Amino acid sequence: MCDLKTLINSLGLLLTIIGVYVLFINSPLNISEIGGGGASTDVNAIKMQTQRASRLMKFSIYTVLAGTVLQLVSNFIPSRS
């Protein structure tokens, strides 16, 4: 059976990976088209999409931080010998 230290470290690593992936997908650097649009551009749809991406980016940053904290905490848990 896994000890608590390994379980917490693995959970922290998984949260960090998920957070970084979500952050990359919603990053402004990952958008193929930036700016503008024509007269037929739906401004409300773009605004809603931008707000959703911003919420997901905030969530992913908190997820990365939580995963990192879990990994740090697992370093201070004594191992069973």
Using 50, 70 and 90 to split pLDDT, how confident is the model at 69? very high
Evaluate whether residue 20 is within a structural domain: yes
SS3 26: coil
The verdict on residue 44 lying in a domain is no
Domain hosting 19: range is 1-26+50-76
Give me the pLDDT at residue 38, please: 56
Chain-centre distance for alpha carbon 10: 16
* Torsions phi, psi for 15 (to 5 deg): -65, -40
**What digits encode the pLDDT tens for the residues 16-51?**
999 999 988 888 775 555 555 555 667 788 788 888
Note whether residue 69 is domain-resident: yes
Residue 51: exposure state from Cβ atoms within 10 A (0-12, 13-18, ≥19):
exposed
Average of per-residue pLDDT values in the chain: 83
- Residue 40 is assigned to a structural domain of this protein: no
Instruction: Give the number of domains in the chain.
Output: 1
Residue with tokens 């959703």: 52
Q: Is residue 56 part of a domain?
A: yes
